[in-house]
Chain A
């Protein structure tokens, strides 16, 4: 099974709201990723967790706050977002971050709209 699940599928929030995106995988992968994707563009890496520790933060604004409570679960907490943050947010996982051969498996994404 190569499934990564994400909830919710769609999220509409105001600029003062606080919300969270959730990602889950049960493949035993030890690396998990958050990407942001604008329409018709490639995914942009935001964060990488390796063995439940944050290993990469691609200079993402602090209004995005990742959390990895355990090896199967990854959250992205959102607060005081801007309309330009509206995008498809993708979660992905790999066996590890040390093996470049590992395939990244992506979830279906959360479509976020910030009003």
Chain B
């Protein structure tokens, strides 16, 4: 079985401060991990993914994520938040050894305060 947890429903951060959106996963094998962002009344936009190799993955719009196998985490980070980063963020996982489809986390609403 595969699952994803996003422990925070809501994250608030001041503009210019670093932001972190947390994600932990559970798979029986090795994971493929993804982050998506969703703006109001829009589809999901792909930000970045971890497949293998370097644990620090860089993605779109200045976002990055760090894969930590021992902590089964894949937290999304950005050094300096923008008001325009305010959106709903989803982490997703797929078990490398499984034919299963993507499993999404429950989502984290990020609000960047001016």
Contacts and interface: CB of A to CB of B under 8 A. Distances in A.
Interface of A: 2, 4, 6, 33, 40-43, 45, 48, 56, 88, 90, 92, 100-101, 103-109, 111
Given A45-B101, A100-B32, A40 B88 contact: yes
Contacts of B94: 100
Contacts of B49: 101, 103
Contact of B32 (A4, A92, A101, A105): A101
B98 to A, nearest CB: 8
Interface of B: 32, 34, 36, 41-46, 49, 51, 88, 90, 94-96, 98, 101-102, 104-107, 109
A42 B105 contact: yes
Nearest to A33: B101
Contact of A40 (B34, B44, B101, B107): B107
Nearest to B95: A100
A107 B90 CA distance: 16
Given A43-B44, A106-B43, 4 more contacts: A56-B101, A88-B41, A92-B44, A111-B41
By DSSP majority rule, is chain B's interface helix, strand, loop, or mixed?
strand
Complex A-B, nearest 9 residue pairs according to Cβ-Cβ distance, in ascending order: A42-B104, A106-B43, A106-B44, A108-B43, A100-B94, A109-B43, A101-B51, A100-B32, A107-B43
Contacts of A42: 90, 104-107
B51 A106 contact: no
B43 A100 contact: no
Nearest to B88: A40
A100 to B, nearest CB: 5
